[in-house]
Copies of this chain bind each other. A is one copy, B any other.
Amino acid sequence: MARASVVTLITDFGWQDAYVGQLKGRLVQTCPQALPVDLSHDIPAWDIAAAGRVLAASWHFFPAATVHLAVVDPGVGSARRLVAASGQGHFFAAPDNGLLTQLLADGVLEAAHEILMPPGQHISPTFHGRDILAPAAGRLAAGARPGELGPALPLHSLIRLPAPSVSARNAAGITGTVLSIDRFGNVRTSFHPHRDRIDTSLLYSIVLCNIVVNLRVRCYSEAPKGAYCFLVDSDGYLEVAINQGNAAQNIPCKPGDPLHLQFKTRA
């Protein structure tokens, strides 16, 4: 069997309604051999940055020529542009609203084109994801070049979100924020040691809501069952967890809350 044309999906549509399914309909209508793969549909409503982080953390697990379609689109129907970008052998389709910020920062993108509205079709002014982006992703999955979708856009013209606030590092450490909380109650921080050049072996503790977590582990099971620990998670972020327990149910924190990294002092 020939290779399927994988199309990943990231949206804030949720699972309850038929929005995701209808979008997939337009996708397979345009590209019959497309294989849709859901990355997340539980992005918090209108949280462009969260969608961008999932995209940047996930695209590289897929085969070359995968099309990554991300739709968090509070400006749908307005004049904001839609963009088809490419880089590292992958394709990306999304609104030009900052969703590609992290990919741009990571140097993944090499070129971008605007996606023009196809003429003569019914386009819902509230669902360009289904009526414009999905057919565009389908065309890419079927082998079209991004340039067939519209004119080239310079990468520097794409909208970028402000970087998350991180304090300057001083003797006392660095202050960051809670990024997100996963299904297990693990608390992901805004620190990504590889990107942020943090040597985790020099980390002494993470302080979050007055709770000091200072057990550093490689994997959950290195901590005693029920104990707080911190580790680098499977997407490369620094995370606070409880082995076989729910950290977020025990630490009353939410995305955006401040947290503090403390480093070992050298004698």
Where the two chains meet, the residues of A that have a C-beta atom closer than 8 Å to any C-beta of B are 1-4, 6, 8, 10, 12-22, 24-26, 28-29, 32-33, 35-42, 45-46, 54, 57-58, 61-63, 66, 74-78, 124-127, 130, 182-184, 218-222, 231, 233-235, 243-244, 246
Contact = CB atoms under 8 A, between A and B. Distances in A.
A16 B4 contact: no
B1 A220 contact: no
B37 A24 contact: yes
Given A8-B25, A28-B37, A63-B28, A58 B219 contact: no
14 contacts: A1-B33, A14-B182, A14-B183, A15-B40, A18-B235, A19-B182, A21-B58, A22-B57, A24-B37, A25-B37, A29-B63, A46-B244, A127-B234, A130-B234
A176 to B, nearest CB: 20
Given A183-B45, A244-B46, A22 B61 contact: yes
